[in-house]
Amino acid sequence: MRLVLLPGLNGNSSLFAPLLAQLGDLPCSVLELPHQGPQDHDNLANALDDQLGETPFVLLGESFSGPLAFRLALRRPSALKGLILAASFLSLPHPLLPLACRLPIPVNLPAPAWLLRWLCIEDATPAVLQLLQNEIRHLSPQLVRQRLQAMTRLQSPLDSLSLPTLHLWPTRDRLVSHAAALSIGLHCRDLRVSRIEGPHFLLQSRPEACVQAIQQFIAKLGEAA
């Protein structure tokens, strides 16, 4: 069974480095988000649908890509055996997000360490903090704004999913509201929840705990096959 990763708002594989280092010999690939074209979740699903492949896999959507992974799962690709939502949501993640979208996005400026620690990464190692700062510095403000706006337009799904799903839910997530995270259970009929001590950037700050939960989930899928 392989693991297919969909990245968060940054859209590329860079921030998966801490997780990938812990995954061992589990076959794994990252589908990076396209930089061109519409950035709403429906159009991104159309762009990535034919890249999923036909070998049995589990799909993981981190944060921004949770709704994207959910949409792809609803299309019932035959090789998809399970879904993982990491620090994610299926509808508007936070009531203050529309206000945040109106704020200017600085270009090529280092994000203050204290702000990142308070907002989304807390007691991560200096190396992980540096990784996040470097990634933020190189993000396209236009692309960030498009993806933020896409999140403000998210509505609660009309369909529910019967596929086995794992929710990696950080205990101290300041970017996704408790209500938004809790509502995942309304749309996933076969849901396992793993509450992991940590901030929003859970895969980066708690990779060992996340990998343990992922491996246990995949092992149970194999037993049920």
- Per-residue pLDDT band at 118 (split at 50, 70, 90): confident
pLDDT tens-digit series, residues 127-150: 999 999 888 888 888 999 999 999
Output the pLDDT for position 137.
Answer: 85
Task: Please say if the pLDDT value at position 114 is more than 80.
Answer: no
Q: Which among 146, 148, 116 has a CA at the least distance from the CA of 131?
A: 116
Q: Is the pLDDT of residue 108 over 90?
A: no
pLDDT tens-digit series, residues 48-107: 999 999 999 999 999 999 999 999 999 999 999 999 999 999 999 999 899 878 776 665
28-30 β-sheet, strand order = 28-30, 2-6, 57-62, 80-86, 165-172, 191-199
Q: Which fold would CATH assign to domain 2-224? A: Rossmann fold (3.40.50)
Residue boundaries of the structural domains of the chain: 2-224
pTM, 2 dp: 0.94
Q: Which residues have C-beta within 8 Å of that of residue 71, sequence separation ≥ 6?
A: 41, 42, 45
